[in-house]
Each structure stands twice: as structure tokens, then as C-alpha cells.
Chain A
Amino acid sequence: MKKIYSFEDKCLGCKLCEVYCKTARSKSKNIIKANKEENIDSAIIVEKTNKDTHFALQCRHCTDAKCIKACISGAIFKDEIGIVRYDKEKCVSCLSCVLVCPFGAVRKSDFNSTVTKCDLCFSTGKPLCVSNCPNDAIKFLDEKEIDDRMEIVK
């Protein structure tokens, strides 16, 4: 399965991914409206490190996803592909998922009682954050491709 991977050395911290994430998650799909008028949370988070560098982080779609185990209503589930998805209609806002996500990538919305998490733009199959990153700091890759690069961090 393809996931979004972050390359810290390339990240500028420009937060364009956040801007495009909000756009992707908006009703209008319009970049200005999504960021200025509609109250949308970004599911991708740009973090600043203690060395003043940056990286982007979003749901890792864990194989053994703790959020799914914690969910009391079935609102968080894994689809056939392996994407960890969220159905706000089923959610009662208990925040059990927020309490267990090791990455802090399932977050309570800033605007309402739902939670926000990345769904890899499953409806289009093309995550907007990735296609709009100006420096290839996030990439949409197969697990295998990343496993090959694991050497770098070892």
C-alpha cells in the first residue's frame, strides 16, 4: 500500500502542505475559500524541531492501528486497501483515538466536535499535499520503496 513519507532534510517548513490539505478536505475545493472562509483543519502537521528544521507528519495508517482498537463506535476503521478512515456520522467525540495515537496525528478539530485525520485523499488517490510540496519533502510511496531506504536511518 502507498503511504505519504516525510523527508526531513528537504522540508522548508513552508506549510503549503497544510494549505493544500485544508483545500482537499474542504467542501468547495477552492484554496482561498478553504483557507479563509470554511473552518477546516489540516490533517497534516508541520513540526518545527529543536534544530529549527521542519518535517511534515500525518496519520501513518498503522498496520496495527491503536485508534481503531480504541474507538467505541466503529467511526475509525480500516478500509479494504488498508487506509485508516474516519466516519464522523458514527463518532460520539469521546476522543479515545486522540488518546492513543502514538504520532499525535489523530486530533480533535479546532472548530467542531469531530476529529481530524489524514485519509490519503482516498477518493482521488492523489494526496494534494504531496503534489503541491515544492521540494519533494513528502512523497507518496510504496512501503517497499521506503523499506529500501530504511538503511539511511539505520
Chain B
Amino acid sequence: MKYLIIGNSAAGVNAIEAIRRLDQQNNITVISEENYQIYGRPLISYYLSGKIKYKNMFSYKEKDFYTKKKANLLLNTKVNSINTKIKKIYTNDNLSLEYDKLLLATGSLPFIPCIKGLKQHIDNKKDSNVFTFLTFEDSLRLKNKIKKTSKVVVLGAGLIGLKVVEGLSGQVDNITVIDLSDRIMASVLNEIEANMVKSHIEKCGDNVFFKLKTGISEVRNDTLLLSNNTVIDYDILIVSVGVKPNVELAKNAGLKIGKGIIVNNYLQTSNKDVYAAGDCIEYEDLFSNNKKLYALWTNATRQGELAGYNMSGIKMKYSRYFAINAISFFGMNLLSAGITTGKDIHNYIIESSINTFHMISILNNKLVGFVLINCPNKRAGIYTTLINDGIDISTLDYDITTMKNIKFSIYPKKNRTKKMWQGAA
């Protein structure tokens, strides 16, 4: 039996661990296009700011992780194609490897919008002043390129774009964030919350400016033509308008693709010996019957683990997922999960001030979402679990819609003792 894993990040590494829990014997090979052992991908912006030093970039797993798990790691190797009929993969350096069970943990790729001049600037990789921000390599290159005098433009005011802003603030002359939307992090935040976070970034960031409801029409060598027909100078442009699932390999291998790679409840693709997990798959959302894409570390680790279990022979079904965000910018914490808008959803604003916000969302007697800004001390995981478990809130010992500090004693006695004693809620 040979296990093969393509992608050595959140999903891939958690799959290795799960397989080894059940199978200490058989061969595991993991292949990565990147040249590093696993690192927490979200840490790359902390490397940019200097908060995380080079050696601590690799703290996710100990150095001898792969040896201990008897996993053969092939770095700097790209899988070019898969032949699912004879169960073989082919790499860029003419290696071919056989597998019995294959996991695609190929993650996401930056989404590159169609803007005149953009593609040729990005393609010109090595010394280009146009960046995407998804890998440690991107972070190293960007850190090398910036100067105290750099005028930086960030295209896209989503999580990654704003993390770049935080990472670069104080190290460059100024940063302009451009986004077509009327607010920042539009996919996660409503207007009130978005404004709160934006004001905080403007206040704490060093020369950070926002140009919302604006796009870039053309990328030139050192100027940008904006959608409002103005022209601005730039030294460095970072394109962070979002990510897309990396499905090329799967698609060319003839696997079924929707928005992402299509998997069943056991994370099996349309080919029974090929599994997929993490950012590259689409999955059912807890709140709609639509397939969704979430690029989230937590979901990727859990799916990787589950795929690992299923590959090594025990059947484990995956539950539905929902969006869950823990984000901080310049010391402001944002914790949110689930959904806060939609038909029949009632929002309860429990606390609100200039820079704090605490809101929960109820639909049909169930908690479906919440947002906490600058309330880091709330025990938010209790909310997340109520959403996950679909608990009828009228069965709880407290009315959570008026509760300032959520606590575990919301659960009736029998329930809570059982949960606490079993060590799983």
C-alpha cells in the first residue's frame, strides 16, 4: 500500500498524522512545489512585519516531523499530471511515482483579475515589482524589495490585502488600498463592522489610505490608471483580490470539478482512490445547500485529518462547515463565525461602542452567527459550538440574546456535566 500526498500544507500534513495513527507500516510520500517544510501559511505577513523571525516560521511542526512519521518528503517538486488508470503521477523533474491512495491537498492560487498590463508584470517574476501574497517565498521577495521610500499599492481589501498592509506599515513611505467594493472585507463584514476596522487601520497604520469603490484599469511600469481616470504612482503593487482553488491537476486528470474539486462525505473525489482536502475542494455549507469555497486553515486541517483516516481504511464522515474567522489588525481582534444576514435572521447587538462590537444572529431559535470586535475576552468558542451543533437556544439555562458574557453554564446541568466529563462538547 502506497500513500501519496500532493501539497505539504495544512491539509497534507494533517493527513500524514492521521494516516500514521492508524497505519505505522505503509509508505507515505508527500510532494511539495515549495522548498520548505510545513509552515503556517498565515504567518507570512508576520514575517513581513518582523514579528516572526525566519527560524520561527517553521514552528508548526518540529524539524524531525517527517522522519518521525516515516514520511518521504519531496520538496521543490511539482506534480505535472496524474494517470488515474494506472495510478501514477508524473513530476516536473521526470520522476514518476505509483500510488494506491492519492490525496490532493493542492490548496489555493492567487486570483489574478483581468486588468490591462497586469499579467505581463506578474509573469516577469524574479525582479517584478508586482506581487501576489500567498507563499513564504512571496513574503521573502517582498521584504527584500521594499524600501523606506516605497509607495505601495495594495489591490484588494480582503484579509490577505489588509494583512499585507499591517505587515508593511512603518517600513514603507505609504500604502494605498484599492478595492471595487464599498467596504473592506466585504465577504466577512457588514458595513458597521467594516467601518470600525477600517478606521482602526487608518488610525494605527502608518500612512495608510483607502480608495474604495475604485478599480485599476491599467498597470503600467510605474503608474496605475484607476477606474476614475486618475493616474497614481507606485513602486510596488500587491494583488490580493482573493484566491481560487488550485484544481488544474485534478481537472486534467479527469476528476469532477465544480467551483472546486468535488468530493463526497468521505472526501473522496469522483475517482475512489483519489481524495481531496483543504482549499482546493468545494463543500457543503452548514447554512445553505450550496457548495462553497472557504480558504480557511481550520477547515483545511480538519479535512486533511479526515481524508487521512478515510484513506487508511476507516470510514469517517465529514460534517458541514461554515465560515469562521479570527483576525487581528494592529491589535484589534475580530472573531466571527457563521452568517449574520439573510431572510428571517434576527441580529442582537449586545454591546457596541466606537471600537467594540458584540452581535449575535439567531434564525429559528438557533444561533447562526456572531461578530465580536475587540472583545477578545469573550469565550467565543461557546458560540461557535452552539452554531456547529445547531442547539435550540430555548433549551438553554440562560437567554443568550441578552448575555454579555457567554459561559458554559448556559447548558443545563446534566448536559454540561456530561460534556465536561467526556471532554468533548
Contact = CB atoms under 8 A, between A and B. Distances in A.
B59 A75 contact: yes
A14 interface: no
A74 B382 CA distance: 22
A104 interface: yes
B326 interface: yes
A101 B51 CA distance: 25
Pairs of residues from A and B, 3 with the lowest C-beta to C-beta distance, nearest first = A104-B379, A102-B425, A101-B381
A107 interface: yes
Interface of A: 3, 5-6, 8, 47-51, 55, 57, 60-64, 66, 69-70, 72-75, 89-90, 92-96, 98-108, 110, 113, 146, 149-150, 153-154
B409 A74 contact: no
Contacts of B397: 49-50
Contacts of B416: 55
Interface string B400-425: 00000011110001101111111111
Contacts of A100: 298, 324, 381, 384
Contacts of A73: 40, 43, 52, 59-60
A120 to B, nearest CB: 12
A113 B46 CA distance: 15
A48 B384 CA distance: 21
Contact of B420 (A6, A51, A66, A95): A6
Nearest to A106: B381
Nearest to B65: A74
A102 B324 contact: no
B376 A47 contact: no
16 contacts: A55-B416, A62-B423, A63-B423, A69-B14, A70-B301, A72-B42, A73-B52, A74-B59, A92-B43, A95-B376, A103-B408, A104-B381, A107-B377, A108-B333, A108-B377, A153-B421
B43 A69 contact: no
